[in-house]
Structure 1
Amino acid sequence: MSAIGIDLGTTNSATSSYDPERKEVSVLTNSSGKNLTPSVVGLYRRDGAERFIVGDTAVKWAARQPRETVVSVKRLMGRAFADPLVEQAREKLSYEITQGPDGDPRARVRMGDRVLSPDQVSALILRQLAQDASRSLGEEVTHAVITVPAYFGDAQRAATRDAAEQAELVVKKIIDEPTAAAVAFGLHKKSGERSRILVYDLGGGTFDISILHAVKNEEGHGQFHVLRFDGDSWLGGDDFDQAIVDRIVTWVKDTYGIDPSGDKNFLYAAKEQAEQAKWELNAQESTDIVILAAHRAPDGTVIDVEMPLTRSEFDGLIEPMVRRTMTLVDKTLTDEGLTADDITDVLLVGGSTLTRAVYETVENRFGKDKVRRNINPMECVALGAGILAGTLHAIECPEPECQRLNAESATECEDCGRSLANARSVGDTGLHEVTGPAMGIAAVRGSQRDVFVPIIPSGTPYPLPEPRRQTFETTDGRRIRVPVYEGNQSVASRNVEQGVIEFELPEDIGLHRRVEVSFNYSLDRIIKVRISVPGTDLVKEDTPNRDQQGPPAAQHEEQDAAGLGPTLEHVAKETREFLADYEEYMEPSQRMKVERDLELVQRALDRGESGEYARLTDLLLTDMYNHCGLASKLMQAKRATDGASPQLGQQIIEAVGHVRTAHERGNREQVTQQARNLTNLVARAMDERSVAEVPTAEDYGSHLRVPIDRLDT
């Protein structure tokens, strides 16, 4: 058995191997004799046959067939087709991104007549990397430590593991890229030396910041404690290239009056030249971008590109992105209670840190003496993964009174029998990590739906010694639906849905029971969910079903046949009228949420996503009647007067007038007082049952409810 480290990058990938006797790690060369393999997959055709090509070979053929050459597939891993980031990729990438078959919400890529998932494409890259590594080492590679961006969510990590399994690799560990880089850096530290390291990792497609404590023990092995991390999963060197591509498109428009942005071949050629210009401007003040026969105009004219670009112009194009990275750096330091002075070492990781404007900005912030550039930033992640592949050799039992070291292949502790599903990989290199965004569920809190209830908070030390638990109550009936979300927003739908857990309560269990939901992570920080009803034998253990992100279409098939589409259109029309009538009474954040939800509705209607109609109808009703503060109170009052008794109706109208007057005068205290009086009058109207009830979510979509005794927590 041979184990390697793999940096599965957005633009390039690399592998490495650790020699435990010499305590040295080295990057392995590929079949082209190079250290880096382009993360590119193409479809090669000859004599009626087809086969996939990977790496440098795929790059050579890309100019001929840009629509059948997949690049930057890492950005699509684990994402739904409707994800705004995927929509952004569809506009910029040369190949077709499509929806999965049979209602599968996940993104797919089309290559010729074939439709592949991003993990299938990544599996082709991983298989090529493993084959090249086997050739280089002279023995078969079977195991690997694979790196991912620190801010990769649960779905992205699961997709990475799926890709490795399809490539017939045993995954020893999925490790965060900045942590792997710190491990590689620690190899050069002296025994006993302590560091507080900030890793600035700007790759082709993602940006990560991690802060770690590191110390090298007397045996020469590093111990690493991850303190905090943050990042942007859609910011990297590809975006630098795209900024130049956009500049080329503008130049063609200004010079020839023609828009070439719909020409996939032109965009691919522009992307190649943009990347070359980016590197040239590190060493020189200006360069010329030349693309002969770049585009054919509608009248048949062939257009050449001959555009000058200076370093100062390039720096201006990428300045907002570089500034964004430093904003995230400052936020991460502040969240950990640190300043730049508290950092002993800054590691520049990822090929994009070779860009002059990037490394000069970091040096200006921390000082040149702290910025370490003694390891190739394009290779250090792979080197760290290789060290871990060679030095992690056991799984520690999580039982505090046991802690036996078990073989890597074990699923249960050989001594106490405890499950090793959430155990920690251990070895000569010590790793102590923390979780990323919070993980929780969408639930009902009071009269509010779409509430995010965290179960594992952000920054929790990982692996967890015990699962994290929360108690809820059932709502509608025997159907239990638990949507799992990852993120830090209080509104569940603003976070990233990981999938759902669904089941039916047996007839012998009464309704409105308490339900316990517990979360834990697997070795690779992939969420495991356990749902139980205390006092019964009912236990449901599962991972979220990502095939049902968002309400499954089948769930609403009958309702949709009865006209849910027109209903959603009608409610959207009412919501637009609500926005027009009451916008002045909303906070900016409330108005932005309503506008965003209306955009989601329009997108779902345009795409015919009928499985979303019920949820979005419910979301708009909640926006109007519950989530918009004073505007919602005024909307409720208007509804209440329609069927109220004449006397009470008149009182409500007068109370509305008082609220509006106080608001116009800017008297917040009086607004609050008058709004309270209005709320009481509306409640009286509803108690009299003279009007239809204001929509308040009688149907909670089988979601769980936060118990009354926990409403303030």
Structure 2
Amino acid sequence: MHRTLGIDLGTTNSVAAWMSHGSAEVILNRDGEAATPSVVALDGDGSLLVGAAALGRRAVGQDVVWAVKRLMGRQFEDPEVRRAVEHLGAGGYAVSGAADGGVLVRLGGRDYTPTQISAMILRRIKRDAEARTGERFDRAVITVPAYFHEPQIAATRDAGQLAGFHVARVLPEPTAAALAHGYTAGTDDAPTIVVYDLGGGTFDVSVLTLVTELTDNLALGGDRLLGGEDFDHLLAGHLEQELRAGHPDYEPLPGDARLLRVHAEQLKIRLSRAGSAELVLPAFGAGAVNFHTTVGREVLEKLIEPQVGATVGEVTATLRNASLLPEDIDHVLLVGGSSSVPLVRERLGAVFGAAKLRTDIDPMLCVAQGAAVQAALLGELECPHCLTTCPPEASDCAGCGARLVGRPTVDCPTCHVPADASRDTCPVCDGALPDAEPEDGVPARDAAAGPDTQNCPNCHLPVLVGSELCPACGTALPGPATPVTADGAGGGADGLRCASCDETNPAGVTACRFCDEPFPVADPQNVTAHPLGLRLKDGRMSVLVEKGTPYPFEPVLRTYTLNASTGDTLELAFYEGEFRHAERNQPFGAVHCGLPSGISGTRRLTVSVELSADRLVVVRASLEGEQFVVQHFRRSVVPPRIRARAGEVKRDLAHFVERWHRELTEAELDLHQATLGKLDRLLAGEGIQDSLDTFLDDADRQRRHQSFVRDQAADASLYRHHLAALMAPEARERLGALYDDLRRARDVADLDRAYRIAEHIRDEAAALGADLRRVVYACAFADQDRLQPRLRRDIEDAKRDLDAAHAAADDHRRRQALDRFLVLQPELDTQLDAHRVRPPRLVRPEEQRSEG
């Protein structure tokens, strides 16, 4: 049996939960805490610190990275990245642009992607959960904010895979909260719910409507840079004012501000449960002053009133966007640790009524618990490679053999990024990797992880196994359950426990197998959070899939018109978002393809798109009913600027190869096909392990160099064929030797060497003069049968005269023959223009005009 871990990967804190004995239970970390700070740091000897130990390093202010979730899946030029960096403030870690346009963060002298940092956090969560439970977690359900677009979702999934999970589902946080509170099965009245999520670093509000097995986001709002840390900052500022007022001689030490922030957070938490809290800081600062103060709840509330008011204002604005009033809301779910602040609940109660606020589940834990419930509801897995539906007990896909469990990973001892255990060296830093633990069996439970816990059925907080009463709410606790065994016996079934018969069910069922009682929750079908559309020629987005559409779905077809010719490249660029202009939305992915031969004028273009459960896009296109492209791609993290340039580079290279493939060597064709393949992967949103700008520069330079080499090779061949009798012997020998050298370089696709040789050929040809160059080209075009018969005869006559004059050493007749070529040149140019190949274009669909 493969265990699945539910993970709330938060901006400030992360929480893990699993299904134990039919209930979603939070798993305490190695420190005995339910929440692991989403912080990574290095200690003095370079060892990796994650969680509370890393958070403690923030007071020192060295080699610490936090709140990296704000940077996940984003481009460095994204305004959200600039806002996030500004929010880090003085002493924040360095953030820079990656070679592919993404984001890099600095830790211990190395640059890491946000995905790699998140993988370190997830890896620690995985190891702590396995040490605590004695179970191996091969899969995960990881939650993300509802506003996340495809690049952020993809980065989250990648982080999970890097940490050693098969990510069975990426779940929107509001849906997870609804699952934890027992919603999503749906009722006839389709309740409408507000999810108020005030975490440490972000504030999100979602309005959901729950129909049978569907959770539809009606509206989203919030402030991604407002959270409990802002409350801490305000309270820390107040403490510093009191400190300076009471101790005018106080001189701060480096790190004092961070220490005050830590103590402010602790005070905030205590003030959520009590009317006042005391703080004592002995020997504080450079002068070792003794600071003692008592803070009342009213002081905190006065400080944070504007921020709390701003969150309530966002709630009402989001309701307006959904065309709803507060009385239309059935329930308000509180999520995030900062939603426990009494002032927050007071203000929300004033808007909705206190009875609508759900406070029965700890807001800090409910998203992770909802993720665990989602794991229990998964009755099947979709293979992310071939889309085959597989049973949850499968380790490999029956269709293509792909793994459906996470790959064993090891922590690189040099850079600390998790790596595939089958590798000998780290793909990030090339450091040697340690041996992996055996994959078979389950990890032994670590006694150092602390005593067993169970969740209180009332407040859901972790409680020591064997306790009779919950110390938090006083609820009587059930006796210890049967231990979980490696094969899933005892209480180890992954499904839900029936409230009627108290039996634990297998995963994937929505009604009790023992008494047929339906569960209050069902596996929520995914719905699109944003409209998905296609960019048109005029820049607008043609919506193919509306927001809130359940997926996977059957192909959606739309008909457009296309004005194109043979050789043009069709771009089908997909975006998701609410804006009418495509470029203002988030790029989803793109398909670039050459058009069938014989295309000319305006044609009817039919485009179909379907979306798998794993958000794999399948695109089909046909012209006048004839299908000519079928392509699969995943979400794209490629910036529009890069994608547009990649499309141009691919179009030019593909056109060059198509036109001149008969004159290219086999090695050159292989080189260009490999480059075209990388361009296709780039356009489809896949990684290519290169600097994108550098790769595109190299690809364009490759085409230009190859074009120059081909031209000079052709010139050398033409000179030797048409001017052999007119050239001096030494010049003819030099040109022949260069031509042979060029051929050898081209046979192995050594373009750099071939380019240098081609430059020498160019110089040799230039030394022969413009008159002979004109003769060569005229004769070459005459041989190709591209000219009218009369002009071709005139060129052939002039060439015979030139050869005869050269043989007779008659300079006067030679000059006359060369002048004839000069006279024929304008007519030659005119006739060649009629055969000139039009450069290819990048074409896009247009809306089909209605007739009549």
TM-score class, shorter? 0.5 to 0.7
Task: Look up the equivalent residue of 2:118 and give its one-letter code.
Answer: S
Displacement, 1:164?
Answer: 0.6
Residue 205 (structure 2) aligned to one of 189, 208, 231:
208
Could you say what secondary structure the match of 1:201 adopts?
Answer: strand
Partner of 1:463: 552
The 3 A distance-change label for structure 1 pair 136 and 72 is same
Could you say what secondary structure the match of 2:530 adopts?
Answer: coil
Indicate if the aligned counterparts of 1:517 and 1:529 stay in contact, CA closer than 8 A: no
The 3 A distance-change label for structure 1 pair 374 and 483 is same
Could you say what secondary structure the match of 1:538 adopts?
Answer: strand
Residue 435 (structure 1) aligned to one of 506, 521, 528:
528
Displacement, 1:69?
Answer: 1.0
Q: How does 1:679-694 map to 2 (within 5 A)?
A: none
Is residue 8 of structure 2 the alignment partner of residue 7 of structure 1? yes
Partner of 1:91: 86
Partner of 1:199: 195
Is residue 57 of structure 2 the alignment partner of residue 73 of structure 1? no
Indicate if the aligned counterparts of 1:68 and 1:95 stay in contact, CA closer than 8 A: no
Could you say what secondary structure the match of 1:444 adopts?
Answer: coil
Partner of 2:24: 25
Could you say what secondary structure the match of 1:276 adopts?
Answer: helix
Distance 1:470 1:254 in 2: 72
Partner of 2:52: 56
Deviations 1:131-178 (A, max 9, x none): 111112212111111111122111111111000110110111111112
Partner of 1:121: 117
Indicate if the aligned counterparts of 2:271 and 2:297 stay in contact, CA closer than 8 A: yes
Partner of 1:130: 126
Is residue 170 of structure 2 the alignment partner of residue 170 of structure 1? no
The 3 A distance-change label for structure 1 pair 43 and 444 is same
Could you say what secondary structure the match of 2:74 adopts?
Answer: coil
Indicate if the aligned counterparts of 2:141 and 2:374 stay in contact, CA closer than 8 A: yes
Task: Look up the equivalent residue of 1:6 and give its one-letter code.
Answer: I
Residue 227 (structure 2) aligned to one of 226, 230, 236:
236
Indicate if the aligned counterparts of 2:219 and 2:322 stay in contact, CA closer than 8 A: no
Could you say what secondary structure the match of 1:551 adopts?
Answer: helix
Could you say what secondary structure the match of 2:525 adopts?
Answer: strand
The 3 A distance-change label for structure 1 pair 189 and 456 is closer
Partner of 2:568: 478
Larger displacement relative to structure 2 (150-159 or 501-510): 501-510
Is residue 197 of structure 2 the alignment partner of residue 106 of structure 1? no
Displacement, 1:376?
Answer: 0.8
Indicate if the aligned counterparts of 1:442 and 1:703 stay in contact, CA closer than 8 A: no
Task: Look up the equivalent residue of 1:14 and give its one-letter code.
Answer: V
Distance 1:521 1:232 in 2: 28
Q: How many residues align?
A: 535
Indicate if the aligned counterparts of 2:142 and 2:371 stay in contact, CA closer than 8 A: yes
Indicate if the aligned counterparts of 2:560 and 2:604 stay in contact, CA closer than 8 A: yes
Distance 1:545 1:52 in 2: 31
Task: Look up the equivalent residue of 2:180 and give its one-letter code.
Answer: A
Q: How does 1:608-687 map to 2 (within 5 A)?
A: none
Distance 2:98 2:19 in 1: 42
Distance 2:58 2:274 in 1: 28
Distance 2:106 2:336 in 1: 29
Residue 143 (structure 1) aligned to one of 129, 139, 142:
139
Distance 1:190 1:473 in 2: 44
Is residue 391 of structure 2 the alignment partner of residue 407 of structure 1? yes
Partner of 1:360: 346
Could you say what secondary structure the match of 2:529 adopts?
Answer: coil
Displacement, 1:437?
Answer: 2.2
Residue 282 (structure 1) aligned to one of 263, 272, 290:
272
Indicate if the aligned counterparts of 2:104 and 2:112 stay in contact, CA closer than 8 A: yes
Deviations 1:393-426 (A, max 9, x none): 21599xxxxx997424699998xxxxxxxxxx96
Partner of 1:546: 637
Partner of 1:598: none
Larger displacement relative to structure 2 (364-373 or 232-241): 232-241
Is residue 332 of structure 2 the alignment partner of residue 346 of structure 1? yes
Deviations 1:82-120 (A, max 9, x none): 111211121232443433443x11111110221111111
Displacement, 1:287?
Answer: 7.1
Larger displacement relative to structure 2 (67-76 or 505-514): 505-514
Displacement, 1:351?
Answer: 0.8
Deviations 1:672-699 (A, max 9, x none): xxxxxxxxxxxxxxxxxxxxxxxxxxx9
Distance 1:107 1:246 in 2: 31
Partner of 1:488: 578
Larger displacement relative to structure 2 (143-152 or 269-278): 269-278
User: Which residues of structure 2 form unaligned runs of 5+?
Assistant: 400-506, 511-521, 650-692, 697-838
Distance 2:75 2:199 in 1: 23
Displacement, 1:190?
Answer: 13
Deviations 1:286-318 (A, max 9, x none): 77989899999xxxx999999997755654554
Displacement, 1:379?
Answer: 0.8
The 3 A distance-change label for structure 1 pair 183 and 368 is same
The 3 A distance-change label for structure 1 pair 26 and 708 is closer
Distance 1:396 1:555 in 2: 32
Task: Look up the equivalent residue of 1:440 and give its one-letter code.
Answer: G
The 3 A distance-change label for structure 1 pair 312 and 157 is same
The 3 A distance-change label for structure 1 pair 426 and 140 is closer
Displacement, 1:73?
Answer: 1.1
Task: Look up the equivalent residue of 1:238 and give its one-letter code.
Answer: E
The 3 A distance-change label for structure 1 pair 266 and 505 is farther
Partner of 1:640: none
The 3 A distance-change label for structure 1 pair 201 and 704 is same
The 3 A distance-change label for structure 1 pair 67 and 229 is farther
Indicate if the aligned counterparts of 1:290 and 1:307 stay in contact, CA closer than 8 A: yes
Indicate if the aligned counterparts of 2:39 and 2:67 stay in contact, CA closer than 8 A: yes
Displacement, 1:373?
Answer: 0.8
Q: How does 1:236-275 map to 2 (within 5 A)?
A: 236-242=227-233, 265=255, 268-269=258-259, 271-275=261-265
Task: Look up the equivalent residue of 2:222 and give its one-letter code.
Answer: D
Distance 1:482 1:265 in 2: 53
Distance 1:475 1:242 in 2: 59
Displacement, 1:710?
Answer: 7.0
Is residue 362 of structure 2 the alignment partner of residue 384 of structure 1? no
Indicate if the aligned counterparts of 1:2 and 1:139 stay in contact, CA closer than 8 A: yes
Larger displacement relative to structure 2 (178-187 or 702-711): 702-711
Indicate if the aligned counterparts of 2:205 and 2:318 stay in contact, CA closer than 8 A: no
The 3 A distance-change label for structure 1 pair 552 and 467 is closer
Indicate if the aligned counterparts of 2:205 and 2:221 stay in contact, CA closer than 8 A: yes
Indicate if the aligned counterparts of 2:5 and 2:375 stay in contact, CA closer than 8 A: yes
* Structure index of larger Rg: 2
Larger displacement relative to structure 2 (513-522 or 339-348): 513-522
Deviations 1:227-284 (A, max 9, x none): 5341336143234445556778999999999xx99x9956644543443343344356
Distance 1:387 1:345 in 2: 20
CA RMSD of aligned residues (A): 4.7
Partner of 1:184: 180
Displacement, 1:44?
Answer: 2.6
Distance 1:120 1:140 in 2: 22
Distance 1:319 1:517 in 2: 52
